[in-house]
Amino acid sequence: QVQLVESGGGLVQTGGSLRLSCAASGRTFRSYAMGWFRQAPGKEREFVAAKRWSGGTTLYADSVKGRFTISRDNAGTTVYLQMNNLKPEDTAVYYCAAAPTGRVGVEVQGYDYWGQGTQVTVSS
């Protein structure tokens, strides 16, 4: 059974940094695509970043390009989202997601497995 568990969220001031982690278990994820999405109150869940675990294609939302970096460990167990120069509009619950197809996409529907989310709050 696939499990994705996010951690690393919290409260940070504008301009600060956070690193989110997503611990993945229950499968061998090397052929998967892994993504980060976020959802602010009253808004739809939106794409943040994604990459294939084995490397290659990496995508970022325009709103985070140059500030956020998605990466993974070589052991194939953890995906990270390094978030720098945070802004109040980055405030949201951040979710880790996994796509068994290996397709790196921006649509919520493209991902079959989801974590429970971790709250990120950026104060102005």
| DSSP code string of the chain | --EEEEE--EEEETT--EEEEEEEESS--TTSEEEEEEE-TTS--EEEEEEETTSS-EEE-TTTTTTEEEEE-TTSSEEEEEE-S--GGG-EEEEEEEETT----S-GGG--EE---EEEEEE-
φ/ψ (deg, to 5) at 26: 100, -10
For every one of its 124 residues, what pLDDT tens digit does the chain have, with 9 covering 90 and above? 899 999 999 999 999 999 999 999 998 888 999 999 999 999 999 999 999 988 888 999 999 999 999 999 888 789 999 999 999 999 999 999 999 999 999 999 999 999 999 999 999 9
For 46: left if phi > 0, alpha if psi spans -120 to 50, otherwise beta; the answer is beta
Instruction: Yes or no: say if 45 and 38 are a contact pair by the CB < 8 Å rule.
Output: yes
pLDDT of residue 120: 98
Residue 54: what pLDDT?
Answer: 86
Are the C-beta atoms of residues 26 and 115 closer than 8 Å to each other?
no
d(CA 80, CA 43) in angstroms, rounded, equals: 24
